[in-house]
C-alpha cells in the first residue's frame, strides 16, 4: 500500500473527501457563476440597447410621449395697485360657513393636543423632581476597631 492509498482510506473512514474532488467542485461552481454572469451581462446589454433606441426615437419626435392637454393655465392671483395680493372673498355665505366649520374643527383638535401636552409636561416635571431612595447600605460583619476602642459612656460625643 502506498501513501496515497492510505490517505484515501483514512479519508473514507473519516467521511472526508480528498482535496482534488473539492477542487473539482469549486471549479464547477466557478464555471457556473461565469455562465450566469455572461447571461446577466447579455440581458443588461439588450436592455441598454432598447433604452437607447427609445431615447433616439423620443429625440426625433418629442411629442410621442407628451400628454396632449389643452387646458388653460390657472389665473394668477389678483393684485392691487401697490402690488399686494387681494384677498378673495367667498362667493356665497355657504362657503363661509364651511370654512368656519373647518376652522372650528381644527381649533378643537389643537386644544385637545395642547391639553395632552400640558399633562405630559406636568408628568415629566414630576419625574424630574422625583426623589429616589438612597441606595442600600453595605452590611458590616464586624464593628470597626476605632469604634470598639472608643465605646464609652461618652460615645455620643465622639461620633
Domain containing residue 33: 1-62
Residue 138 lies in a domain: no
% residues pLDDT > 90 (the chain): 25
Can you spell out the DSSP letters for 89-151? PPSSHHHHHHHHHHHHHHHHHHHHHHHHHHHHHHHHHHHHHPPPPPPPPPP-SS--HHHHHT-
- b/e sequence 43-73, b meaning 16+ C-beta within 10 Å: eeeeeeeeeeeeeeeeeeeeeeeeeeeeeee
> Which pLDDT score, from 0 to 100, does residue 151 have?
65
Which of residues 62, 86, 106 is at a domain's end? Answer: 62
Q: Is 130 left (phi over 0), alpha (psi -120 to 50) or beta?
A: beta
In this structure, the number of other CB atoms found within 10 A of the CB of residue 17 comes to 13
Q: Report yes or no on whether pTM surpasses 0.95.
A: no
Structural domain contains residue 135: no
Q: Structural domain tally of the chain?
A: 2
147 falls within a domain: no
Asked, for residue 78, whether it belongs to a domain, the answer is no
- Beta bridge partners, 79, equal 85
57-92 residue pLDDT tens: 888 876 665 555 566 777 777 777 777 777 776 566
Q: What is the DSSP letter of 80?
A: -
Q: Which residues of the chain have pLDDT under 50?
A: 158-159
Q: Answer yes or no: is 102 within a domain.
A: yes
Q: Is 141 contained in some domain?
A: no
Amino acid at each position: 500500500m502506498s501513501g496515497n492509498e492510505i490517505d484515501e482510506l483514512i479519508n473514507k473512514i473519516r467521511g472526508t473527501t480528498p482535496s482534488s474532488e473539492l477542487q473539482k467542485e469549486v471549479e464547477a461552481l466557478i464555471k457556473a457563476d461565469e455562465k450566469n454572469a455572461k447571461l446577466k451581462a447579455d440581458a443588461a446589454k439588450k436592455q441598454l440597447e432598447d433604452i437607447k433606441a427609445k431615447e433616439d426615437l423620443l429625440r426625433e419626435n418629442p411629442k410621442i410621449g407628451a400628454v396632449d392637454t389643452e387646458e388653460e393655465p390657472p389665473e394668477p392671483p389678483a393684485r392691487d395697485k401697490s402690488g399686494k395680493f387681494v384677498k378673495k372673498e367667498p362667493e356665497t355665505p355657504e362657503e363661509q360657513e364651511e370654512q368656519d366649520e373647518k376652522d372650528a374643527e381644527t381649533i378643537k383638535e389643537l386644544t385637545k393636543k395642547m391639553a395632552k401636552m400640558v399633562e405630559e409636561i406636568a408628568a415629566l416635571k414630576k419625574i424630574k423632581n422625583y426623589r429616589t431612595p438612597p441606595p442600600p447600605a453595605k452590611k458590616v460583619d464586624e464593628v470597626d476597631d476605632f469604634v470598639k476602642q472608643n465605646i464609652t459612656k461618652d460615645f455620643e460625643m465622639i461620633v
